[in-house]
Amino acid sequence: MKFILLLSTIGLCWAQYTPHTQYGRTSIVHLFEWRWADIAKECERYLAPNGFGGVQVSPPNENIVVNSPSRPWWERYQPISYKICTRSGNEDEFRDMVTRCNNVGVRIYVDAVINHMCGAGGGAGTSSTCGSYYNANNRDFSAVPYSGWDFNDGKCKSGNGEVSNYNNAEEVRDCKVSGLLDLALGKDYVRTKIADYMNHLIGIGVAGFRLDAAKHMWPGDIKAVLDKLNNLNTQWFDAGSRPFIYQEVIDLGGEAISSSEYFGNGRVTEFKFGTKLSTVIRKWNGEKMAYLKNWGEGWGFMPSDRALVFVDNHDNQRGHGAGGASILTFWDARMYKMAVGFMLAHPYGLTRVMSSYHWPRYFENGKDVNDWVGPPNNNGATKEVTINADSTCGNGWVCEHRWRQIRNMVAFRNDVDGQPFSNWWDNGSNQVAFGRGNRGFIVFNNDDWSLSTTLQTGLPAGTYCDVISGDKVDGRCTGTTVYVGSDGRAQFSINNSAEDPFIAIHTGSKL
């Protein structure tokens, strides 16, 4: 009996590392700043039919309304209360979204802002998305309620109460990051208030949480909050399922805090992934795709089963957070599709695809002065995500997850799930190829000359549709076809000036 009990505990521990996606679905998408009504529709009309596993949604709790600059994206990261009430929608709309998405097997992960409340300079009044009163100066958030007792002001040892020295772990965790009022997660009262909020969302049916600013919280304090969380809602999840947890920890090396301190609580964002991959695809610093042969742990990344990976996120696509100028985004579409394609083909980590909105990027002295701009809106009301005839999005929404090349690589990853990394080939420069067992094969040409070669794919003989240049529709291919011989070998030709200089085939694209 003891043996069985031990095994069941281990099983439960593991739950926080698995995203509870439906079988055969392996990727999540961040629908940044989307309204709940639009996400509900997208789950039904697009995400479920195309094999997406889940959605990371913007923080659903009440936040401060910032009018200078006008309604920036970052106001969502300045909580006023834990009421479900933002420009994405109210609690009824949130519940409807979670129900409808779960009913088609698409999970919802909430971006949980639990390290802090609004900025110290947030003033007082009811300039909040639900009209709740607050007084930042007095640390009065009566809608929670929090008071001066519930913040780390007395615990912070830095001169000005701010985080300025990232080589001091105490300062990073006990002081205010960018002026945001730092909650005292060491106190049971605060932990309970946060857990009550998260349990409210679990009851509604969410599958897990991204923990914003996890690096600014003590791992033990996070564990204390997680220990108070309920199991997931059995309407959609197996009894005893624990919420999936992934923690935002920016660790590019050289600081006091390392990602590994957080592995006990759940997965961790691997920021090195997008930073390094973007540098390679850009061919900066002498990097070459040939060097990607040992991609993953071989590049000094965290263990694959602890990593949440992405090419760009809502912060670093606009120069915030980590990664600097190398980060590839939708603005660099050709290279970006290659980077996302590589990420989705490679077995390392749990993959998250970004879905963005356009903003009027304008650089002055190397800085985008419009990096604050919020989602497409009419006088502060977020615009609907409209769908064009060609299935792209309108109203200023980018919808990278709907780009054929990215959508089809999400399906590729689903098809090759569990298959080993295999049949690597490179030309010593920027032409590379690799397979996933006997189910998938991908070839890249990022050199300034054409590629033409015969490669071992590991795939069964037959004719395959290249899912980068086209789609398999009614047993036919709208793009290039690839013929694999009985020996598993196939001829590949990729012009260096091709719109998308890569080819991907998998068993699901066999004609």
Query: Stretch 495-510: mean pLDDT, rounded?
Result: 98
- φ, ψ of residue 400 to 5 degrees: the values are -55, -30
pLDDT of 490 strictly over 50:
yes
Select from 184, 162, 254, 170 the least CA-distant residue to 215.
170
- Its pTM stands at 0.96
Active site residues: 212, 248
Q: How far apart are CA 239 and CA 215, in angstroms?
A: 31
Q: 9 has which bridge partners?
A: none
Secondary element (H or E) of residue 84: strand 79-86
Select from 121, 32, 116 the least CA-distant residue to 80.
116
pLDDT of 372 strictly over 70:
yes
Using a pLDDT cut of 70, give the percent of the chain over it.
97
Q: In sequence order, which ranges of 420-500 are alpha helices (DSSP H)?
A: none
Return the pLDDT at 4.
45
Report CA Rg, the chain. Answer: 23
Classified as helix, coil or strand, 504 is strand
pLDDT tens column, 342-358: 999 999 999 999 999 99
pLDDT tens column, 415-458: 999 999 999 999 999 999 999 999 999 999 999 999 999 999 99
pLDDT of 2 strictly over 50:
no
> In this predicted model, which residue has the larger pLDDT, 13 or 306?
306
The secondary structure of residue 44, as a DSSP letter, is: I
Return the pLDDT at 323.
73
pLDDT of 11 strictly over 80:
no
| Lowest-pLDDT choice from 36-45, 217-226, 319-328, 502-511 | 319-328
Return the pLDDT at 399.
98
Return the pLDDT at 15.
65
209 and 243 in contact (C-beta within 8 Å)? yes
- φ, ψ of residue 218 to 5 degrees: the values are -70, 135
Q: What is the mean pLDDT of the chain?
A: 96
- φ, ψ of residue 148 to 5 degrees: the values are -55, -25
Tokens representing residue 222 in the block: 């996070």
Q: 79-86 and 61-63: which strand pairing?
A: antiparallel
pLDDT of 13 strictly over 90:
no
Secondary element (H or E) of residue 89: strand 89-90
Q: How far apart are CA 266 and CA 287, in angstroms?
A: 32
Tokens representing residue 490 in the block: 């196939």
